[in-house]
Structure 1
Amino acid sequence: MRRFIPSTSCLIAFDTSARHLSFTKAAHELHMTQGAVSRQVAILEDYLNVKLFERINRRLILTEPGRDYASQVSSILKQIEMATFQVMTYNSLASVLNLAILPTFGVKWLIPRLTKFAAAYPDVLLNLSTEVLPFDFNTRQVDAAIHFGEPDWPDTVMVRLMGEEVLPVCSKAMNDRISSVSDLADITLLQHTTRPQAWQDWFRHVGVDCPNALAGPRFEQLAMVIQAAVAGMGVALMPKFMVETEISLGQLHVPFPFAVKSPQSYYLAYPEKNASKPAVIKFRDWILSELQAG
């Protein structure tokens, strides 16, 4: 069945014009004449039988359907471009592993060790992207992912990697203000978006009631929380292995040596269809051996 898809050149001309709101600027980016870009957009409008642009006071603006279409076309063109780049990385000697990682886990733990993986498996080309929450593998060009939480990712194989211990950390100036756990009730607690109950769990484990355990500024990434703590914005509750460098450098201090084991763990997750993929197997075996070696 013939697909109802406009010409790629028309879509690229439209996407570029929509970003610049100018046929002239689009022409400059695409190394075309202004007239050629305008004609490509006109061909697309005829194909769709929808007006995508209009001119108001000599300014080019998108119509309402044009805005909706531009958003979707831009996303699809980016996906096609990414898929093209990924296919171009294949060669007869290498297999490709597209791995989604937690940003701070990647920076603090995984990436410093990847030279070992490259040495052990020079035939595997590893591409990294970041994801904070579970996603649908069927809609992403991702083979596997590092996940923190419960082993409840639907339709995936989940291999437990490790647990973690969390402890409070803060700047030296903030540390000097704290003499007991109860002092934290009057100090800003830095929160992590995907771990909203972390402080509440920590206070319960140390046997202290803190009505403000859920209050405080929230950050999407643990790396942001670390930097906020270093800057003296408040006290952070961090996985111990992620702040070892900052503690050794004196950038962060530990007001109380109360490390509490997190109820959740880190997992390697991948769809069942990738369970026999050589690159996934090699990475799984490598990361498990790396964790076992300490």
Structure 2
Amino acid sequence: MRQRRFLPSLSQLIAFEAVIRHRSVTAAADELHLTQSTVSRLIASLERQLGKPLFARDRKRLTPTPEAQVYAASVTQGLDLIQRASMGLIANPGGGALSLSVLPTFATRWLAPRIGQFLADNPGISINLSTKIQRFSFATETFDAAIYFGADDWPDAHHMKLFDERLTACASPLFLDSHPITGPVDLAGLPVLQLETRPHGWQAWFNAQGGGGGVVSGMVMDQFSMMIQAAISGLGVALLPSYLAHPEIAEGRLVPILQPAVPGDGAYWLAWPERGDGNPALARFRQWVAATVTLDLLSSQEAGEDPAAG
């Protein structure tokens, strides 16, 4: 049973969060369409209920205490969670909302073309997508799951492997016309495009080609989408996950170099916190994404293509 003392009213928490965020009672009152005296009373009543001052008062100025700053982080997370749940209930009263963190280019190149089938098969479920490159803590974020690259080592989470990454080096036709490449040594001195989250990617590619690689140099980028456009524009040789390179190669905008689809040094994973084990929307998504990856694999094998090309 929850103790009432530790459950402030929503009005108190909303006022507290707004004052913390704006550092001003006046600005908080304007945002909430309340009077300044009402906001001040809500803050004072919250302090009385908790039995602890949350702000140091200097004339009309409120300065949050260190404890209030910590408390505010949890309050903000709780309000966000309530808001998302309410939005999901309103939009999909018979299903639920699923909040996913996804790698940017994976979201646009792999997930987006396929997610329509999931929504069609599960009309009561809505999906909210946010793109993130860096990992985060499920304890402090409200995401239900994350799709990421690396190993099955996300802290305090369950994992499901999607597929291993395979790498294909490619460049634009015009670039290769002026820079013919018949072996790894031909890349010496050429601009090669690198991703900051794959520092050992080129070395893995050279090893799979039988060696012969030297020191690589060229632009370092933080997203594959930028690298793809740079390669198409003739700025260098890109090293791409094969599922990302496949559409550009099929359309003739990029040409693979030497042996394509060589093993990389990581995989794509779905991770979710323990609290998500009882989430039916997440369970359906896990089943769907596993079946979709398997179908992609079988289709690619039948076509004689890279299994992760999609």
| Aligned with 1:75 (options 77, 96, 115) | 77
| Shift in Å, 1:268 | 4.6
Contact 1:97–1:126 (CA under 8 A) maintained in structure 2: yes
Contact 2:93–2:124 (CA under 8 A) maintained in structure 1: no
2:202 is aligned to: 199
| Aligned with 2:30 (options 28, 31, 42) | 28
| Shift in Å, 1:78 | 2.1
1:283 is aligned to: 288
Q: Give the superposed CA RMSD.
A: 4.1
In structure 2, do the counterparts of structure 1 residues 100 and 55 end up closer, same or farther at CA, with 3 Å as the change threshold?
same
In structure 2, do the counterparts of structure 1 residues 152 and 6 end up closer, same or farther at CA, with 3 Å as the change threshold?
closer
2:305 is aligned to: none
Gaps of 5+ in 2: 301-310
Give the 5 Å matches for 1:23-172: 23-46=25-48, 47-55=50-58, 62-92=64-94, 94=95, 97-130=98-131, 132=133, 144-151=145-152, 156=158, 158=160, 160-170=161-171
Q: Distance in 1 between matches of 2:65 and 2:145?
A: 40
Q: Distance in 2 between matches of 1:70 and 1:138?
A: 15
Contact 1:53–1:66 (CA under 8 A) maintained in structure 2: no
Q: Distance in 1 between matches of 2:112 and 2:33?
A: 39
1:197 is matched by which residue type in structure 2? H
Whether 1:210 aligns to 2:214 is: yes
Contact 1:143–1:274 (CA under 8 A) maintained in structure 2: no
Give the 5 Å matches for 1:176-191: 178-180=179-181, 181-182=184-185, 184-187=187-190, 189-191=192-194
Q: Distance in 1 between matches of 2:279 and 2:8?
A: 38
Contact 2:163–2:293 (CA under 8 A) maintained in structure 1: no
In structure 2, do the counterparts of structure 1 residues 55 and 192 end up closer, same or farther at CA, with 3 Å as the change threshold?
farther
Identity across matched positions, percent: 36
| Shift in Å, 1:50 | 2.4
1:243 is aligned to: 245
Give the TM-score taking structure 1 as reference length. 0.73
| Aligned with 1:7 (options 3, 6, 9) | 9
